[in-house]
Structures are given as C-alpha cells and as structure tokens.
Chain A
Amino acid sequence: MVTPRALEHEFETQDLMINMGPQHPSTHGVFRMVLTIDGEVVRDVVPYVGYMHRGAEKLCETMDYRQGIGYMDRTEYLANFNAELSYVMAVEKLLDIDVPERAQWIRMILCELNRISSHFMFTGAFGTDVGVFGTAFTYSFIQREIVQDLFEEITGDRLMYAYFRPGGLAWEVTDNFVARVHEVLADMRQGVIDIDGLLTHNEIFVARTKGVGYISGQDAIDYGMSGPALRASGVDLDIRKAEPYLYYDQIDFDVPLGEHGDVYDRFVLRVEEIRQSIRIVEQCIERLQPGPIQPERMPRMLRTPPGEVYIRTEAPRGEYGIYLVSKGGNRPYRLKIRSACLSNLQALKHMTVGQYVADAVIVLGSIDIVLCEVDR
C-alpha cells in the first residue's frame, strides 16, 4: 500500500484549501470545516461552529425553571432526557429537595433508553459516513423508532419530551410501562445483533476504520474530551461510576474501554455501551416500585435561594454539565451548558491531520457530534 508519506516524496504538490460544509451531508448538521489538503492528505483543519447558535443559555436566563426545560431538549436533540436530567438535577440541588425513588428509577430507565437510541443513531449515521450507504442507517433507525414510540406513549412527543421536572416527573408513566420496556429491550438485543452482523465484524468496515483517527489517552484528556470518545482511548472515566448520580451506584454494569483510540474502537465501544445500557435498564425495571413521582409539597412557582451549582451527568456523547448561578428569584442568573460535543470537537484537528480527506469524514462521524449541542 502506498502510504501518504511515500506519496509526499515522489511528487511536488501544492496545498489546496477546500471548504466542507456547512451544508455537507456528512457533517451531521450545520458544521463547516476548511481543509488544507496536499493531494489526498489533510494538512490542516479549521472548524467553524456557530451556525446553529440560538442563545439557549441566555434564553434560559429570561425564563423560569420550568420553561427552561424545553430549551434543554433542543440543545441535545438525540439524548433529550440526559440533557433535561442535568438541568433538573441542578435546580433540585439548588432547591435542596429530595426526589421520590420511583421518579429517580424512571429517570434512569428513560436516560439509558435514550442512550441506546442515541448510540443506534450513531451506528447508523457512522455507517453512512463510512460508506455503507443506507443499509446500516435503516437498521439502526428501526431500533431508534421503537424506543421513540415508547417515549411518545409516555411523554406525548417523539423528540422534545419536556418530561422531567424539578422534583420528579411531569406525570405518571403509562400503565403497561414495564411490559413495554421489556418489549423494547428485546428489540434492542436483536438490533445489536444486526449491527454486529452488518458492521462490527465486516472486513470491509474494519479495514476502513481500523487505525484511522488515532488519539492517545493523554491527548484526549488534554483536549477535554469525555464520553465514549475518551474511553475509546483507554481512559477510564465514566461519570456514572466516578461520581454516581441517581442510583447508578446500586447497579451492576461495566464501562467498556478501548485500546487503540481509533475510529473503530469508538464504534465498537458504543455498541458495547448499548449492551451495558440494556443491562442497566433490566436491573432498574426490577427495582421499580409504585410510589409518588413528585415530592409531597412542591410550590407552583419554583424560587431558588442564591447559590451556584455545577452538575454533570454522563450523556451519550460525554459529560453534559450545567452550571447554574442563582441570585434568588424564579429564574437563573446565569446558565452555562458544558457541552460534551464542543470539547470533543476540539480534538478533530489532532485526529485528522495526516490522514486522507475521506477519513476526515469518518473521524468527524466517530466523535458523534450534535451540532445543536455544540452551538447551543
């Protein structure tokens, strides 16, 4: 095989700047990067973000705590429950209220199911990036739709759930919730088998992704990466284990780690995370007891005491943090969203320089960015 290095010595070439995005089908949203290429080899990458900036943080400062929940959904539209969770947990910590046990378990189940659906979305979209056009995408979309049907039955909306509330949940889950979750899990197990068959062990897929977009564990930490993209480089940091929130400390699950820090590892790791999430949901369902889903006495209008909190949770893409400053009153004084995708995106240049142009697409895909979360 002719390596990029060998080509470099053989021909005299001139660097060329090309623009990729913001309307490129493989940029997963409105994202633009300017590539400096030397033949087929990427020499430099300059990412431009902000096309989707809506000022969600500032908007939330103008509205009360319940109204802000809807905006959290819109920052992270593939893992809405995880985004809502960080926000309501931050408000709960400021208010110092105890959330009923049942509400916490349901939150855990929904968050893990959301992780599953988000990772399925990733496997499909990533398959398309790699070149398995359509097939993997439709297979994983079937699974995602199944999860979404469940969410719709519970919350009433397919995408923007607005279901978590400070203190608990907006309303009770459906009567057949447990049975439905079991059904969904059965489908998810089949889905993992499908994805494994379609991609994970497929030689073409492996050849395309192995060794591409390498980043070492130390570099990943330096760039502030988190989530599966960090763990693929072998760094054992999962907030569910490191700083357990909800009831993750009572649940038995493994945190898969990668060895090579390449694109293939990031893919395999997410597929493994789906399996672990299925395990978590199974255990949560067993412990789900009837009970209240809101504290006994909740004021109609939430007023927080002055103070500041930082809450971080493990969203499918990494650490989703909410930094909330209150000066009293019913709305945040300052709200800052620590977006996992934005930090992960910083490492794009590190991973892409020296690779082929075609690999830039799959490296970007392997970070699994949601541009709405990057730009907020």
Chain B
Amino acid sequence: MRGIAKSMLTTLSAFTRRPVTREYPERHRPIPERDRAFPILLWDQGIDEPFCTGCHACERACPVECMTVLMKDNPRHTSQGGNSSRRKIIDKFWIDYGRCMRCNICVEVCNFDAIAMNNTWQGHELSVYDRSDLVMDLPQLLSQHRQGNLKEWVAE
C-alpha cells in the first residue's frame, strides 16, 4: 500500500510544477540557431544575386540525391559589364524536401557558403497536400534568406 500511496503522491506533486507543454500552433517554442530544418540557398545582399555558382558539389555529395542543379554563365559578371565576380551562376535549382534527410552534408561541402539549413519555424511548418509541392525551386529556396529572416550560424 505504501508504494501505491507514494505513486499517487508523485502524481499529485505534478500540480506544483511548471507546465512543460505549450499550446503549439498558437505558441512556438524558440528554436536554437543551429536548428536544421531544410536546406535553403543564401542571397548575396551586397551584389543582389545568389551566392550559389551551380558547382554541383552539393548535388554529388547528397546521400539521397534529392538535389538538381543547373548552372549558367552569369550575365552580370564584370566581363559582361556587371558588378559580380561570379563567372558562373545558378540557373535552376530544385531540392525535393520530401526526400531530404536533413543531414547537413550539402552545407558542409559547399565552397561558396551558398547553402544553409533553415533555422526558422517557417522551415519546419511545411505541410502540403500534394507530395510534389515539396519540390522547391530556386525562387522558393532563395526567398527566406532574401527577406532576411534567417539566424546566421556557421559551423567552424
């Protein structure tokens, strides 16, 4: 009987503790800056073009082959009369979020720091009705950072 009484007491003591849950859709938990949601592309605010040069490094390193990268000559390169030092630039880019295993490898292999894991809540709340809606194209991948709502975190 003593054991049962103690068990009841443990349950009762929960009344004195702080609640540990949140009413989720209304209230969001703050997420750490290292949070890895899904990879997104970064926007070079200085020159106003993507960092990504379309070098295919991430595409080759991705374990689940969920990326597709196409590159093109940069029309804004200095030789063309522009102000960019990037000879090549990304033309088309797709990442299938439905396949991505969020392993961070694409971020590690990128030599141009052009890709990062989304660490905002927008990166997590991606429910869709159709699986094909999870294939993100270039404008979608760039929009988050272009609007500037990404916490910067770079692993040494």
Contacts and interface: CB of A to CB of B under 8 A. Distances in A.
B155 A135 contact: no
15 contacts: A66-B105, A70-B63, A70-B105, A74-B101, A139-B10, A152-B31, A152-B34, A153-B34, A156-B36, A156-B117, A156-B119, A162-B104, A197-B7, A197-B10, A201-B6
A171 B1 contact: no
Nearest to A200: B3
B20 A202 contact: no
Given A67-B61, A197-B9, 16 more contacts: A66-B105, A67-B103, A67-B105, A69-B103, A139-B10, A152-B32, A153-B32, A153-B34, A155-B34, A157-B102, A160-B101, A162-B103, A199-B7, A201-B6, A203-B1, A203-B4
B156 interface: yes
A170 B103 CA distance: 11
Given A71-B63, A202-B7, A152 B156 contact: no
Interface string A153-179: 111110010100000001110100000
Contacts of A194: 10
A52 interface: no
Nearest to A172: B156
B35 interface: yes
User: Which 4 pairs of residues, A with B, have the shortest CB-CB distance?
Assistant: A171-B155, A67-B63, A197-B10, A156-B36
B132 interface: no
Interface string B8-40: 011100000000100000000001101110000
Interface in A233-256: none
Contacts of B20: 142, 145
> Which of the four size classes fits the interface of chain A?
20 to 34
Nearest to B32: A153
A34 interface: no
B36 A135 contact: no
Contacts of B61: 66-67
Interface in B98-156: 101-105, 108, 117, 119, 155-156
Nearest to B36: A156
A206 interface: yes
B10 A198 contact: yes
Interface of A: 63, 66-71, 74, 135, 139, 142, 145, 152-157, 160, 162, 170-172, 174, 194, 197-199, 201-206
> Which of the four size classes fits the interface of chain B?
20 to 34
B117 A70 contact: no
A206 B36 CA distance: 43
A18 B60 CA distance: 49
Given A70-B101, A197-B10, A156 B1 contact: no
Interface in B53-94: 61, 63
Contact of A170 (B1, B117, B155): B155
Contacts of A172: 155-156
A68 B101 CA distance: 12
A161 to B, nearest CB: 10
Contacts of B104: 156, 162, 170
A115 to B, nearest CB: 22
B37 to A, nearest CB: 9
Contacts of B3: 201-203, 205-206
A83 to B, nearest CB: 14
B24 to A, nearest CB: 13
Contacts of A162: 103-104
Contacts of B63: 63, 67-68, 70-71
A156 B9 contact: no
B6 A197 contact: yes
A74 B63 CA distance: 13
A194 B12 CA distance: 11
